[in-house]
Amino acid sequence: MAPGSSWLRGAALYQIYPLSFLDRNGDGWGDLDGVLDGIDHVASLGVDGVWISPFYPSPLKDFGYDITDHRAIDPRMGRLATFDHIVHKAHLRGLKVIVDLVCGHTSDAHPWFAASRRARDGEFADWYVWADPRPDGTPPNNWLSVFGGAAWTWEPRRRQYYLHHFLSSQPSLNLHNPVVMQALCDTAAFWLERGVDGFRIDAVDFFAHDPQLRSNPSVVWNAPEPPLKPFALQRHLYDMMHPSVRDVVARLREVVDRYPGRVLLGELSSQPGAGQRIASYCGPQGLHAAYTLALAKQPFTAKGFASALNGTPRPESICWSFSNHDVERAASRWLPAGADPERFNALLASLFAALPGTVCLYQGEELALPNAALEHHQLRDPFGITYWPEFQGRDGSRTPIPWRSDASNAGFSTAREPWLPVAETHRALAVDAQERRPGSPLDIWRQAFRVRRNHAALTAGGVEAVEDKGSVLAFERVADGESLLAAFNFADEPAEYSLKRKPQLVALDLPRPPGAPAPEVTADGRTLVLPPLSAFLGLRTGAG
């Protein structure tokens, strides 16, 4: 490991969304006992660590990200002792454990907010972001919530508005208040003392805003209709991404640095300049790595990935995530029309294995689960309910994991109706069915992580010579004593890539589904021929 780097660099993580992972008490909600039972499955993939999404007490209006107690376990989810068992078992299996640290907001049912909303004085009066109305009674400025509507809600007891970047039931904490920051730092220390190896820091870009509360300028919109989500009609200069975000991150880094080997992984927004912000927030006094869903929300193209690789001065600080609980699953979102889903899955797995920095696999992605199609009455996500049917929300990526193809609720729960339905299309992709089939998506992902783990250039190496040529993305991964050429055909038709130099290339044995052809180098050594939706990794063994 390079001096000053962390175990997170080059690591492969697996995200568990506990509510949908495995239900062991039969109430229809995933729980920590289910996480405990599922650790062996995660370890079998060959990943280095697990990120466990929120399990804290919550009204579940935003399904875990609206917290009422940062240092406890929601009764639906289990007990603190069970969490301790998870950490212990994961560590025995060689897995690091990261948990969510939600610093920017709480639930409006949190005791802190209950005290803060009562009056403008008292111990908790300044723990949240409060502002007076304009003379005409309207909110202090034009800021909008990501989930729709104004980012301000009137509180009659204080005769003031409070800020919320998401739901009105998620009031924003005042992170400029040193007492608030100390409470969050103490919370971090609480979990670090219990043995966690770091934190996934939620919504970092929203930690700080313009202290003058200036209104955002508008975006010139030339389309025939306005966007579905009015948040896109503003340039977010003042409501988020204020330079003092770095001060908040630095305070959190001070805490984890007191515990050797612990890390911070940040979530950044999809606003323009995410690559530059990754470079700005990461470093010796900041995050160890960060990810943005900007990539996941763009078309699946070689050009898009090349731009992402070239778009940050610190590609080793990127955490790549193709899917998670906030976006449509990649198996549906990016699959070319008419393409073979299993070939596409193998391409994603090989690309994942070759990327620099950290990679994070979302639960069910190893099974190649497509997004579940839900009816309106089945939705839980307030984001989707607001924008239905044009935007169907996040529930389609949050449906339960299928464990046993022939069991009730595919083995997720014995409840009559789980909190979200199990997609019938997922049964054939259940864990037990894939375990029995060589070349299944699950087998492919295990092989891909094995390739990544066995080559220093893929885990610790730098990235060079990034280029896109039509449907082909190519780059070099280089570490001391090892150089690899990586090339990927994003199209569902053959493509060729001209090799710039002619040393011997020894092709690595990348995972492919049965019957899928392998890429080939032409006899003159000048051209790499890539079948549809294919990947090539070649170890250089000579000088050009």
Residue 375 — left, alpha, or beta (φ > 0 → left; ψ -120 to 50 → alpha)?
A: beta
Least confident segment among 4-18, 111-125, 412-426, 483-497: 4-18
pLDDT of residue 316: 87
DSSP 59: -
Per-residue pLDDT at 1: 45
Strands 472-479 and 482-489, by their bridges, are: antiparallel
Give yes or no: residues 197 and 314 share one domain. yes
Shared-domain flag, residues 441 and 488: no
- The verdict on residue 476 lying in a domain is yes
Q: Are strands 12-16 and 358-362 parallel, antiparallel or unpaired?
A: parallel
Q: Do 252 and 399 belong together in one domain?
A: yes
512/380 same-domain check: no
Among candidate residues 352, 287, 364, 290, the one with its CA nearest the CA of residue 324: 364
User: So what's the pLDDT on residue 2?
Assistant: 47
How does 146-167 read in b/e, with b if 16+ C-beta sit within 10 Å? Answer: bbbebbbbebeebebbbbbbbb
Q: Are residues 366 and 498 in the same domain?
A: no
pLDDT over 80 (residue 243): yes
Q: Give the Cα separation of 518 and 503 in Å (integer).
A: 20
CATH number, domain of 86, equals 3.20.20.80
Residue 326 vs residue 293, higher pLDDT: 326
Q: Residue 406: is its pLDDT beyond 90?
A: yes
Q: What is the 3-state secondary structure (H, E, C) of 419-431?
A: CCCCCHHHHHHCH
Label residues 384-423 b or e (16+ Cβ within 10 Å = b).
beebeeeebbbbbbbbbbbbebebebbbbbeeeebbbbbb
State whether 443 and 489 are in the same domain. Answer: no
Mean pLDDT of 361-373: 98
CB-hemisphere CA count at 13 Å for 262? Answer: 23
Based on the domain organization, do 402 and 261 belong to the same domain?
yes
Cα 319 to Cα 88, 249, 420, 507, distances in angstroms: 25, 17, 28, 26
Pick the closest to residue 292 from 270, 273, 316, 263 (CA basis): 270
According to the model, what pLDDT value does residue 294 have? 87
Task: Identify the weakest region by mean pLDDT among 2-6, 224-228, 262-266, 306-310.
Answer: 2-6
**Which positions ≥6 away from 15 have C-beta within 8 Å?**
50, 51, 53, 321, 324, 325, 360, 361, 362, 363
Report the alpha-carbon distance of residue 256 to residue 328 in Å, rounded: 32
- Is the domain of 472 the same as that of 404? no
Q: 233 φ, ψ to 5°?
A: -90, 5
3-state secondary structure of 515: coil
**Lateral strand order in the sheet of 527-530:** 495-498, 527-530, 520-521
How much is the pLDDT for 523? 87
pLDDT the model gives residue 293: 87
Say what the pLDDT of residue 3 is.
38
The answer to whether position 5 is within a domain reads no
For 78-127, what is each residue's pLDDT tens digit?
A: 999 999 999 999 999 999 999 999 999 999 999 999 999 999 999 999 99
Question: Half-sphere exposure (CA, 13 Å, Cβ side) for 307?
Answer: 12
262 and 306 belong to one structural domain: yes
Residue 524 sits in a domain of what CATH number?
Answer: 2.60.40.1180
**Residue 80 falls within a domain, yes or no?**
yes
Please check whether residue 520 lies inside any domain of the structure. Answer: yes
Tokens of 77: 């989810």
Domain hosting 312: range is 12-104+177-208+243-452
**Whether 469 contacts 528, CB under 8 Å:** no
Residue that is last in its domain, among 398, 423, 452: 452
Q: Specify burial of residue 178 (Cβ count, 10 A radius: 0-12, 13-18, 19+).
A: exposed
Last residue of a domain, one of 418, 452, 486: 452
In a domain, 155, yes or no: no
Confirm if 6 and 261 have CB atoms less than 8 A apart. yes
Residue 257 pLDDT: 98
pLDDT grade, residue 311 (50/70/90)?
Answer: confident
Which band of pLDDT confidence, cut at 50, 70 and 90, is reported for residue 427? Answer: very high
Share of the chain above pLDDT 70, in %: 98
Overall residue count recorded for the chain in this entry: 544
- Summarised one tens digit per residue, pLDDT across range 497-524 is 999 866 688 999 999 999 999 999 998 8
Mean confidence (pLDDT) of the chain: 95
Instruction: Report the domain count for the chain.
Output: 2
Domain stops at, among 452, 483, 499: 452
Looking at the structure, tell me whether residues 420 and 483 fall in a common domain: no
- pLDDT given at position 96: 98
Q: From CA 27, how far away is CA 415, in angstroms rounded?
A: 6
Mean pLDDT of all residues in 145-173: 97
| One domain, residues 19 and 75 | yes
Whether pTM > 0.85 for this model: the answer is: yes
Residue 167 lies in a domain: no
- Percentage of the chain surpassing pLDDT 90? 92
Q: Is residue 141 part of a domain?
A: no
- Specify if 81 maps to a domain: yes
Q: Residues 385, 393: contact at Cβ < 8 Å? A: yes
Q: What is the mean pLDDT of residues 522-527?
A: 89
Mean local confidence (pLDDT), 279-295: 93
Model confidence band, residue 312 (pLDDT cutoffs 50, 70, 90): confident
Q: Which of 161-170, 175-184, 293-302, 396-405 has the lowest mean pLDDT?
A: 293-302
Angle, helices 80-92 vs 32-44, to 10°: value is 10
Question: 544 pLDDT band (50/70/90 cuts)?
Answer: very low
Whether 418 and 484 map to the same domain: the answer is no
- Nearest Cα neighbor of 456 from 434, 428, 478 is 478
Q: Is 457 helix (H, G, I), strand (E, B) or coil?
A: helix
* For residue 542, pLDDT beyond 80: no
